[in-house]
Amino acid sequence: MRVIADHARATAFSIADGILPSNEGRNYVLRKIMRRAIYQGRHTLGFKGLFFHKVTDEVVRRMRSIPEHDPNPLDDYVQTAGGELLYSDVVGFQSEPMGSEVIGTAFEVYSELQIQRDFVSRMVKLEEERFGSTLTVGLEKLDELAVDNEIISLVNQSISELRESEQFARESA
């Protein structure tokens, strides 16, 4: 879960700073970070469906000053293979507000996150959907290749067995 939380933080701050997932330079690094977190959530933790944009939104929410009475709008559950888990548990931050006497309120420090909150959420969800379809298509192709390789392996094994039993002339193979 730490990987997902750390990657959600990196994603939120990067997108708020104007870096968008794509195939070149630092944008590609962001895409890899996001996809690694999505993959970890789906395959290691067994999350079902879209979840990373909610975790990233939880990061943004927690990076502002949070009064104790503030309800957690994302305290819904992510479906996992082993049951349910709160999105806020995935993030794993302290819920207490940062002291204004030390660094000002979190909103003042991370105001770019609050200003860009909707944009960050949309970009993360879009990339998560893209990666989901890419992953689905890729896994289908991998399954097809596995079947093809299995067939080739069986044919090679059969030819080998025929050769060994000398029922099949070497020139025919």
Q: Is residue 173 part of a domain?
A: no
Q: Is residue 165 part of a domain?
A: no
Tokens matching residue 106 = 């979190």
What is the number of structural domains in the chain?
Answer: 1
Tokens matching residue 15 = 């997108």
Q: What is the pLDDT of residue 136?
A: 82
Position 116 pLDDT exceeds 80 = yes
Q: Is residue 116 part of a domain?
A: yes
Place of tokens 């970070």: 33
First to last CA, the chain: 54
Name the pLDDT band for 140 (thresholds 50, 70, 90). confident
Q: What is the pLDDT of residue 171?
A: 52
Q: CA-to-CA distance for 40 and 80, rounded, in angstroms?
A: 12
Q: Is residue 153 part of a domain?
A: no
- For 26-58, the pLDDT digits (tens) are 999 999 999 999 999 988 888 888 999 999 999
> Minimum mean pLDDT among 46-50, 82-86, 101-105, 142-146: which range?
101-105
Residues spanned by the domain of 109: 2-140
Q: CA-to-CA distance for 144 and 158, rounded, in angstroms?
A: 21
Q: What is the pLDDT of residue 104?
A: 46
Closest CA to 9 of 127, 132, 72, 92: 92
Q: Cβ distance 114 to 60 under 8 Å?
A: yes
Q: Is residue 17 part of a domain?
A: yes
Q: Is residue 159 part of a domain?
A: no
Name the pLDDT band for 127 (thresholds 50, 70, 90). very high
How many degrees, rounded to 5, is the angle at CA 96 between CA 93 and CA 102? 105
Q: What is the pLDDT of residue 101?
A: 41
Q: Is residue 25 part of a domain?
A: yes
Q: Is residue 64 part of a domain?
A: yes
